[in-house]
Structure 1
């Protein structure tokens, strides 16, 4: 009995220790070895002009470019100098042994503070790739860099020189606070992006009817991005230069390493020639402007002009900013931005979906706000998968709830449904259907997939695909690896809120199977149930995120507030109303509730109501919230004294900063109560508020959000 108890207590730790001390893969005899040391540390940085906490790699953001030749062996030592946090490094887009993929707990042990983890793997294919932390929100803090793998025999499309351009976004706000703001439904990021929806804004754009039709349909305001950023960067700066002499051809290896930002790419020197996408070469194709999804890479060729200074501009999808790379010399000929999105109508999203169905493969690229260049991309070789292998179709719906910032596949987060089971030796046809109003860049680890958009045998190979709103993408891949591989939206905050899965090779679960993965010269026999192997299951993805937030007003006549502890489906609520004007003694009512969230229009709650109102008393209460057309909230509750309460509430957002609201309530015990007011947003945490209450009269003060 004691022996079993000891095994139960120490086996997980021993398994993790054994994994950390596994034999590091070694190069083959005569194989060229390229070594790097990457040191992740915390420093004070100021990419947006304000000194804030950030994470650097070898002292910089981004980290250094890692350069290899196809066939090399990479030996990379990652040193974690963070004081209190584990870290990790994922080699995005590279095909490598499972335990080298770098996802903590799923494939690779987390790198503990003060320790070093050594990665070793073959460079099996050429192209432009990148690396980043897969731990918490560290990628947003600055833990990312680029990878260049030159092909054997040189690039098929020649250039006189090359340059890496790493695009990224930067916020001075702590990323965990960003996540909390998103989950609480704060619209302050809309103010930062200058695209908050309001009645005045709808009227100015001639979309007042559309605005109220959306409210009648109980739809949340549309958006194309989530976070308001303080800076957008290229190679860690707001702008950079592309070196080259007049007439030279330059290969630009462009990496979108943003946490949450799509970019439109445009050159004032004329069409860019795309020669590679996500690493593999494609047949050269000229494009004027295109949308680049998060986590994608593109190699484009430009020619340095004989005279004049030109601009390659990357404009954010929401129109809130851009970064620039200048080339040539002389008078400046700037690039242009696409028009800002009109978020009051769905026409742009519908047009993109429709144009992608046209016979003209360039139809979507001719739009003022074009889509991805997928239909003009063709592989340089036949990518057809073996016809003899069995095929299976999997359909996955991309789902979300902006009201609570829940993102998921098929309505379930990774914590609720972790695995997609696949079998080695089959071909998976994966249909991705986007049921949300946002673009999603979907990334599969450890595999390339064929993007099926009409190119037949020359369908391009990619590892990340943009799925536009109300659209679908179909990809296929051969299940030719082993063990567990992450599959997720590469908007960092979407992944962390649940839009992820693990593709698991099902016949290996719980077994110690001998696997033969190409290029994998690590231990031939290894445990493949990673919940045992690394003693922590899915790590941070094994549970849904939970946050505390609140708001409270301090006014001359009263105070109202709400404190919330929430995860995707559950709330603990503490709400209060205290008034001292127009009454003999301050009166309060406090609700302490548990609330179950069913969907954005319906919730149910139960708890206690506490008051010193002389006409009432403490009691238990249960009820529902239901959203009516025009976004009017109805609340119905019944208490343990047999009294019922009915409430209607509505808010009108007059301008991006100014809102007015009203609430009317009837209680069978205390009868009628009503209130109306207005608030004006000053900062992320404060607003001016004025309010009239039927019992406590008129007053004003400040509203605090925390």
Structure 2
């Protein structure tokens, strides 16, 4: 419902601007019977479109008040007031004008001019007079309100509380009403029309150039330089490395994993250029770790001390390793410009951390990840229990590869059907990792189906679910960066894992080595799996909250880093103007995500797992659902809670890599913690 209503609202706003804009132009001109009747028709059509927008706003309201509040409190009243004046003043005047002869004036008196003999004679039919003030002011003011409505819809949506927006836009409308009293130039004033047009064009061009220039990201910027700070209702005065009395100061470089001790597991990952071949035969010029795509699967056990040495042999590109979903100490998080400098060509960096969480995770570069991850700088990280498990343990990394004919969805490098024999009766655990956005949709996460067997969703984002029940024939919507663990016992028939974005591909598990077995059919209309109602409920561990943050997600047309984009925003801003969220160690934090945009946004907070508390106002009713990456669909509202128990400066961003590159980034900062690293063109660091 929300997607339909939001898209319809954008169309209706455009129609309002066109219809009332033309009406405003006509009202500012000279009257003829044809123009008068056309103006009456436009007013009728504009009123109908406005009524349709009112109904559509009601549909948005049915989704939630927060999705309609800006229309109800700001946009529609601004339009309704001059429209009422139009019906009260302009329509009666237009009807009188439409019924008078062409040779009378506005008041109905005969128009005369001095004839050849000096006697008065009627004006010729071609003589026209301006529309009266009672027509010009309300109609042109309504046109200005429609223009403001388009500005609010496409460029800058009001945010709660709405008092300041209401006052500002009302003031603009009053100025527009005063300016609407002026008559259009008399015949012969074409030069003035051209001059005004040139002035307006110059002003618009100048404003655009100014916005383009000021939107450019700084050459150097400290990650502690945020001007907008959100304390979530908690005590303030603790940003930029300042701290409360009694709170020890710390820098990111101090928040490391164990620096001494022999590692239980040691790995070396070398970033390098590699040509890889997909299952279809397409050749990709990739960036890889150790020449593999995906990179080596790192498997460790809970409690292991892990040491990973990153070596960069890329010729011109910096690189890092971020451990997605594993809540490592801040200095090991691998974010260029936040927790370290990007490793330059020929350089190296050592990460050390204790693997304290059992589950499915993954690693990827956090230096220009929009380029690096999509070209292949990613791999899986699996933390097993201290004692080994039996059965088949299979990791599947869903990715999109850029072929010459467009992106193609694949499992690893297999963009065709891959096969793997599994003995019937064997317990199977499929660890599904989504590395990228849905290849064909901006409003859906990656959609997978498992057919040929009943199965359980055993874990989400590396955390086991309580009491998972058997499922069959459902669609699994996996957030970009998210992970699902699927478990089942291999039957005596083939089992297929398929990505609906590329049904010709997939992973086919066969009960024997017979490569001729056919895959079961892929359902296109499978019902959607709902993790909020799945599994056995348990008491919520959070009963109070020390901080309460609201993240309102919007989108619109705007400048970012010197170019025009369709921008996603956080609380009306793009990085670096997004508000940084400040907490203290030990705080229990509630964060509310409100998606008023037209796209899905997988929100990813580094260093923490959060418990989903509610969706669209309804408490989550299934197993405790812990996430590190939450896909918030258009029109959805989520509340999540987490314990602030991992000090640092943490990225909190959309994991649609294109959205993050366009500024959909903020940070969670612990008071008293600072970072010495910088980002910008004149630094080695580009975290997004």
1:544/1:53 CA distance change after superposition, 3 Å: closer
SS at structure 1 position matched to 2:485:
strand
1:615: which partner in 2? none
For structure 1, the residue ranges without an aligned partner over 5 or more in a row are 1-8, 13-18, 174-191, 193-227, 340-367, 509-527, 546-706
1:411/1:22 CA distance change after superposition, 3 Å: closer
2:469 to 285, 296, 300: 285
Q: For the Cα contact (< 8 Å) 2:461–2:629, is it kept in 1?
A: yes
* CA deviations over 1:552-607 (Å, ceiling 9, x no partner): xxxxxxxxxxxxxxxxxxxxxxxxxxxxxxxxxxxxxxxxxxxxxxxxxxxxxxxx
2:635 to 470, 473, 483: 470
User: Residue 392 in 1 paired to residue 547 in 2?
Assistant: yes
CA deviation after TM superposition for structure 1 residue 399, in Å: 1.5
1:138: which partner in 2? 372
**In structure 1, distance between residues paired with 2:372 and 2:585:** 33
Q: For the Cα contact (< 8 Å) 1:281–1:379, is it kept in 2?
A: no
CA deviation after TM superposition for structure 1 residue 145, in Å: 0.3
**In structure 2, distance between residues paired with 1:504 and 1:20:** 11
Q: For the Cα contact (< 8 Å) 1:414–1:498, is it kept in 2?
A: yes
**In structure 2, distance between residues paired with 1:109 and 1:380:** 43
1:458/1:263 CA distance change after superposition, 3 Å: closer
CA deviation after TM superposition for structure 1 residue 488, in Å: 1.1
2:603: which partner in 1? 442
2:347: which partner in 1? 115
Moved more, 404-413 or 260-269: 260-269
2:533: which partner in 1? 376
User: Residue 148 in 1 paired to residue 382 in 2?
Assistant: yes
1:301/1:229 CA distance change after superposition, 3 Å: same
CA deviation after TM superposition for structure 1 residue 231, in Å: 4.5
Q: For the Cα contact (< 8 Å) 1:139–1:259, is it kept in 2?
A: no
* CA deviations over 1:72-121 (Å, ceiling 9, x no partner): 00100011101111111100001111010001111122111111100000
CA deviation after TM superposition for structure 1 residue 539, in Å: 8.9
User: Residue 53 in 1 paired to residue 214 in 2?
Assistant: no
2:314 to 50, 74, 82: 82
**In structure 1, distance between residues paired with 2:682 and 2:503:** 35
1:269: which partner in 2? 452
* CA deviations over 1:146-186 (Å, ceiling 9, x no partner): 0110123456xxx522111111111136xxxxxxxxxxxxx
State the TM-score, normalized to the length of structure 1. 0.54
CA deviation after TM superposition for structure 1 residue 419, in Å: 1.7
Moved more, 395-404 or 144-153: 395-404
Q: How does 1:209-608 map to 2 (within 5 A)?
A: 228-234=406-412, 236=414, 238-261=416-439, 262-283=445-466, 284-287=468-471, 288-289=473-474, 290-306=476-492, 308-316=493-501, 322-329=505-512, 332=517, 334-339=519-524, 368=525, 370-378=527-535, 384-385=541-542, 387=543, 390-401=545-556, 404-417=565-578, 419-453=580-614, 454-455=619-620, 458-505=623-670, 507-508=671-672, 528-530=673-675, 533-536=676-679
**In structure 1, distance between residues paired with 2:517 and 2:425:** 17
Runs of 4 or more, structure 1, over 6 Å off, are: 19-24, 537-545
* CA deviations over 1:166-209 (Å, ceiling 9, x no partner): 11111136xxxxxxxxxxxxxxxxxx7xxxxxxxxxxxxxxxxx
**In structure 2, distance between residues paired with 1:438 and 1:544:** 22
2:266: which partner in 1? 35
1:83/1:33 CA distance change after superposition, 3 Å: same
How many pairs align? 418
**In structure 2, distance between residues paired with 1:237 and 1:268:** 18
1:163: which partner in 2? 394
**In structure 2, distance between residues paired with 1:426 and 1:20:** 19
For structure 2, the residue ranges without an aligned partner over 5 or more in a row are 1-219, 224-250, 440-444, 558-563
**In structure 2, distance between residues paired with 1:23 and 1:485:** 12
**In structure 2, distance between residues paired with 1:93 and 1:23:** 18
Q: How does 1:653-664 map to 2 (within 5 A)?
A: none
User: Residue 92 in 1 paired to residue 324 in 2?
Assistant: yes
**In structure 2, distance between residues paired with 1:254 and 1:134:** 21
CA deviation after TM superposition for structure 1 residue 244, in Å: 1.5
State the TM-score, normalized to the length of structure 2. 0.56
1:471/1:323 CA distance change after superposition, 3 Å: same
1:680: which partner in 2? none
CA deviation after TM superposition for structure 1 residue 24, in Å: 7.2
Q: For the Cα contact (< 8 Å) 1:256–1:295, is it kept in 2?
A: yes
**In structure 1, distance between residues paired with 2:351 and 2:505:** 35
Q: For the Cα contact (< 8 Å) 2:296–2:380, is it kept in 1?
A: yes
SS at structure 1 position matched to 2:423:
coil
* CA deviations over 1:493-542 (Å, ceiling 9, x no partner): 1111111111112x21xxxxxxxxxxxxxxxxxxx322xx1244799999
Bigger Rg, which one: 2
* CA deviations over 1:350-383 (Å, ceiling 9, x no partner): xxxxxxxxxxxxxxxxxx3644532234479766
SS at structure 1 position matched to 2:374:
helix
**In structure 1, distance between residues paired with 2:685 and 2:568:** 15
CA deviation after TM superposition for structure 1 residue 140, in Å: 0.6
Higher share of residues assigned strand: 1
2:117: which partner in 1? none
CA deviation after TM superposition for structure 1 residue 144, in Å: 0.3
CA deviation after TM superposition for structure 1 residue 245, in Å: 0.4
1:187: which partner in 2? none
Greater relative CO, 1 or 2 (CA 8 Å, sep 6+): 2
**In structure 1, distance between residues paired with 2:509 and 2:289:** 26
